[in-house]
């Protein structure tokens, strides 16, 4: 039987949103390229849309990267440490990531509110949608970092 926990559902939702953001970004860039060479005009909104898709792609994908341990790490230093010291250092790093990311999520909320008065130049979208990506990134990286932290604490050195 498959695991149907809320975390698995969240993984699927985030994965779906990352894929949609990626495909939309690729589609918009291809449209821009084709329009430059095949049409007498090119849409003004494509560059902005591609940028917004990329922002959400990175912001939502960062949490999944933490979950899958796909982030960059320098193992040559960790490999020289004893297993107990290595575990302690990994726990400390994960704890800092969680603290920084959750702080970023909380501190970015007033910024999202402030920019709600602005609109994007080409698509006229409320800019709070774009700045909300920072809040989402902080939340999801903090959440998945917390899961990794608990898992690492439970592991033997």
pLDDT tens for 126-147 read 999 999 999 999 999 999 999 9
pLDDT tens for 64-107 read 999 988 877 777 888 899 999 999 999 999 999 999 999 999 99
CA distances (Å), origin 73, targets 70, 79, 90, 143: 9, 11, 10, 19
H helix runs in the chain, sequence order: 6-38, 46-67, 75-78, 83-114, 128-154
């Amino acid at each position: 039987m498959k695991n149907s926990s809320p975390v698995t559902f969240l993984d699927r939702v985030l994965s779906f949103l990352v894929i949609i953001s990626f495909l939309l970004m690729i589609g918009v860039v291809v449209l821009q390229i084709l329009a430059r060479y095949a049409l007498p005009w090119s849409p003004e909104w494509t560059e902005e849309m591609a940028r917004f898709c990329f922002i959400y792609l990175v912001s939502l994908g960062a949490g999944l990267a933490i979950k899958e341990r796909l982030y960059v790490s320098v193992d040559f230093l960790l490999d020289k440490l004893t297993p107990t010291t290595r575990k302690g250092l990994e726990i400390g790093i994960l704890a800092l990531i969680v603290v920084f990311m959750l702080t970023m999520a909380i501190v970015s909320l007033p910024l999202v509110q402030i920019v709600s008065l602005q609109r994007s130049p080409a698509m006229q979208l409320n800019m709070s949608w774009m700045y909300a990506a920072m809040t989402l990134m902080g939340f999801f990286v903090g959440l998945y970092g917390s899961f990794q932290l608990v898992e690492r604490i439970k592991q033997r050195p």
